[in-house]
Amino acid sequence: MSFDFDAGKYAVYLWPAFGVSAVAFAWMIADSLAMARRWRRETERRQAELDELKS
């Protein structure tokens, strides 16, 4: 068995399908991590402000 990357006349359909899927997953991972990081930092910043206000 060997790798078969030659899709012949179907390459024009096959590779865009894999490309779109890869881009979609990259975007979902980046967006989810960025969203989590942003709100974690915002929470920490506001908590620090509140602690400062209390002290």
Partner 1 sequence: MDPRHPLDFLTNPERFMAFSRWAAPLLGGLSAIAGVLGLVLTFLVPEDYQQGDTVRMMFIHIPAASISLFIYVCLGIASFLALVFRQALADLAAQACAPIGAVYTVLALVTGALWGKPMWGAWWVWDARLTSVLVLLLFYLGYMALRGALDDEQKAARAAAILALVGLINLPIVKFSVEWWNTLHQGASTFGAKRGDGLPAIYAWPALLMGLAYLGAFGSLWLVRIRALIWRRKARSLAMKLAEGAR
Q: Are 7 and 14 in contact (CB under 8 A)?
A: yes
Asked if 26 interacts with partner 1 (CB under 8 A), we say no
Provide the CA 37 distance to its chain's centre, in angstroms. 12
- Which residue, chain included where needed, has tokens 């209390």? 54
CB distance 38 to 30 below 8 Å: no
Query: Rule CB under 8 A: is residue 30 a binding residue for partner 1?
Result: no
As measured in angstroms, the least distance from the Cβ of 23 to partner 1 is 10
Q: Which residues bind partner 1 (CB under 8 A)?
A: 1-11, 13-14, 16-18, 20-21, 24-25, 27-29, 32-33, 35-36, 38-40, 42-43, 46-47, 49-50, 53-54
